[in-house]
Structure 1
Amino acid sequence: MTFLPLPPPGQTPLRVMTIAGSDSGGGAGIQADMRTFAMLGVHGCVAVAAVTVQNSVGVKAFHELPLDIITGQIQVVVEDIGVQAAKTGMLASAEIIGAVADTWRGLGADIPLVVDPVCASMHGDPLLHPSALDSVRTELFPIATLVTPNLDEVRLITGIDVVDEATQRDAAKALHALGPAWALVKGGHLRSSERSPDLLYDGTDFYEFGEARIDTGHDHGAGDTLAAATATALAHGYPVPDAVAFGKRWVTECLRAAYPLGHGHGPVNPLFRLSRDA
């Protein structure tokens, strides 16, 4: 695949922020975002919203950080260092979602924001209080440049069970109606397709992205990695469809290079770029 350009040594790289939860097992969340940021040559900045107790088998517990700490991280980074794009991940409560949305609007900056509406872990463990779903719809989606839910998240947010191309289009329309500029319905879990079909919608046009379905049980952090790569491409000035296409290619290669870890699901692996560049 064609990579994004790396900055010359000594030159300040582009900055991309992740506003998400920490994964103690290192497979998903902030840890996955930072690996992709590093491998794509941008400086990653962090606003930790929660700390999870998890490994390759599942999430055992999580702890939400105080609201002023979460929003303070965003403010001090944007005001001093500056960011060219940002993404969200695990925002576990309505209070956190509201505080992050208020802070983002208050910055008044035209910064692309990719919202990965993390509702549950890949193991099915809840990462979002049920009461927060309304806040996802009313607070988070209207400030998003792009939303990137998987099919389970689509069902929780819109009530639509995506089983084929027609229902995937219905879901994209329903997501877009909630306020984001662009809605991406990821099709990695759409087993009716031999490929992995993602569908992007801007309220007028549909854009389809299909990559080979990678047969692996090690896909922890795939959603985070796709959103992080897409946000990085947006930081480089890519139009949204091109940024999504890049993110799709990136996560596919990360899935090809995924490795086993622990007794459960291993992570997708952006470190494949090291061997490509060697």
Structure 2
Amino acid sequence: MSSPAVVLAVAGTDSGGAAGIAADLTTFGDLGAHGVVAVTAVTAQDTTGVRSVHAVPAAIVLAQLEAVVEDLPVAAVKTGMLGTAEVVALVADRLSALGVPLVVDPVLVATSGAVLGDAETMHAYVERLLPVASVITPNADEARALLGATGPPDRMATALTRLGPAVVLTGGGLAGTCTDWVAVPGEAPVALSHPAVETTNDHGTGCTFSAALAVHLAHDIPLITAARKAAAYTAGRLRLSQPWSLGRGRGPIAHTRSSKS
């Protein structure tokens, strides 16, 4: 049996076990990759919201990154909550040199509304990290925040490509259909539609999608196919957790063992 692909998650913790590093590692493992991590923040949160955030010093984040990349053959990187402008910049500088897919999930505002990145952090994303990212996976709210403007999702996806990366703008839809927009610099955006899953157990959905996308890109799957597969996987996780009753707020997306989607 050959060794699994190694995928690096650079993100914060979620004490509720639904998002962040918890979502990344379980998704990596379920899809057959070996997950490695650099923790950027420790959060106290549950299904109702974020109570407290402790940012990990940039020097410790860098030490984690170097420990991983100097020892293991990282095939793809996925970033989540980075927390500070300094960490955003060091991630851009250290990981862009690896020459592997760099998937950036621009986690700036939690589902509960808690702010996870200030204006300086936002500026660092736009000026430092997005230009070296392979693909970013914002939802509509994150796209508006990064652009400082709003518009139809296909146009926002195209506008974000002008910052450098390919874009998978995830989210919304009507009449039971969810549409993601995939935009590559210089090309027309492509709509990827799939059935929406009606559920309140969706905490960790964005992390799960971007983690799945990173695994598929690590296996050299083309972006549009990888985005379709990541969306199908995430929808399967949502269907699995649909009947759950965990927590007092928006419950976790499923990361329990079952057949792959």
On whether the aligned pair clears a TM of 0.5, the verdict is yes
Query: Residue 152 of structure 1: SS of its match in structure 2?
Result: helix
* TM-score between both structures, scaled by the size of structure 2: 0.94
Instruction: Report how many aligned residue pairs link the two structures.
Output: 257
Correspondence for 2:170: 186
Q: Is the Cα contact below 8 Å between 1:34 and 1:44 reproduced in 2?
A: yes
Q: Is the Cα contact below 8 Å between 1:209 and 1:248 reproduced in 2?
A: no
Q: Is the Cα contact below 8 Å between 1:146 and 1:183 reproduced in 2?
A: yes
Q: Which runs of 5+ in 1 are unaligned?
A: 1-7
- RMSD over equivalenced CA pairs, Å: 1.4
Deviation at 1:262, TM superposition (A): 1.2
**Which range is displaced more, 252-261 or 36-45?**
252-261
Correspondence for 1:197: 179
Query: Residue 181 of structure 2: SS of its match in structure 1?
Result: strand
1:169 aligns to 2:154 (yes or no)? yes
Query: Which of the residues 84, 100, 111 maps onto 1:93?
Result: 84
Deviation at 1:130, TM superposition (A): 2.4
Q: 1:178 & 1:170 partners in 2: Cα distance?
A: 14
Query: Residue 182 of structure 2: SS of its match in structure 1?
Result: strand
Query: Which of the residues 101, 104, 108 maps onto 1:119?
Result: 108
Correspondence for 2:197: 214
Superposed structure 1 runs of 4+ greater than 6 Å apart? none
Q: Which runs of 5+ in 2 are unaligned?
A: none
- The verdict on how the C-alpha distance between 1:145 and 1:193 changes in structure 2, with shifts beyond 3 A counting, is farther
Q: Is the Cα contact below 8 Å between 1:260 and 1:267 reproduced in 2?
A: no
Query: Residue 84 of structure 1: SS of its match in structure 2?
Result: strand
Correspondence for 2:139: 150
Q: 1:140 & 1:23 partners in 2: Cα distance?
A: 23
Correspondence for 2:122: 133
* TM-score between both structures, scaled by the size of structure 1: 0.89
What code does the residue aligned with 1:68 have?
A
Equivalent residues in 2 for 1:45-60, closer than 5 Å: 45-60=36-51
Q: 2:136 & 2:83 partners in 1: Cα distance?
A: 17
Q: Is the Cα contact below 8 Å between 2:158 and 2:189 reproduced in 1?
A: no
Correspondence for 1:4: none
Query: Residue 268 of structure 1: SS of its match in structure 2?
Result: coil
